[in-house]
Amino acid sequence: MPPAAPAAEWIDQRHALERWLAELPSAASPGLDTEFMRRNTFHPQLALLQLGWDGRYALVDPLAFDIGDALRPRLGATNTVVVMHSAGEDLETLAPFLPEGPGTLFDTQIAAAFAGMGLGMSYRALVAELAGVELDKGETRSDWMQRPLTESQCSYATLDVVYLDTIHAQLAERLQQRDRTAWHAEDCERLKQRASHRDGDPQPQRGSRGAAEWPRAQQALLRRILLWRDRSARTLDRPRPWLLEDALAMSLAQQPPASLAELDQRSRGQRALRSPQRAELFELLAPPVSDEELASTASIPAVPQGEAKKALGAMKQRIDQRATELDLPPGLLCPRKVLEEYVVTAEWPDFLDGWRRSVLHDELSALLPG
Residue 59's nearest CA partner among 133, 167, 163, 153 is 153
Residue 287 has pLDDT above 90, yes or no: yes
pLDDT at 83 (0 to 100): 98
- Say which residue, 362 or 137, is predicted with more confidence: 362
- Cα 320 from Cα 102, distance rounded (Å): 33
pLDDT at 137 (0 to 100): 74
pLDDT digits (tens, 9 = 90+) for 174-232: 999 999 999 999 999 999 998 876 678 999 999 999 999 999 999 999 999 999 999 99
pTM equals 0.93
pLDDT at 141 (0 to 100): 74
pLDDT at 199 (0 to 100): 75
81: β partners:
104
pLDDT at 1 (0 to 100): 60
Residue 246 has pLDDT above 90, yes or no: yes
Q: In what order do the strands lie in the sheet with 45-53?
A: 9-11, 56-60, 45-53, 31-37, 81-84, 104-107
Residue 185 parent element (H or E): helix 181-196
pLDDT digits (tens, 9 = 90+) for 12-48: 999 999 999 999 999 999 999 999 998 899 999 999 9
The CATH class, in words, for 9-196 is alpha beta
- Cα 225 from Cα 240, distance rounded (Å): 12
* Secondary structure (3-state) at 50: strand
Residue 140 has pLDDT above 80, yes or no: no
Provide mean pLDDT across the span 92-97: 95
| Percent of the chain's residues with pLDDT above 90 | 93
Residue-range domain boundaries for the chain: 9-196, 204-296, 306-365
pLDDT at 80 (0 to 100): 96
Q: Do 75 and 83 contact (CB within 8 A), yes or no?
A: no
What's the CATH superfamily of 204-296?
Answer: HRDC domain (1.10.150.80)
Domain 9-196 and domain 204-296 have a common topology: no
Residue 298 has pLDDT above 80, yes or no: yes
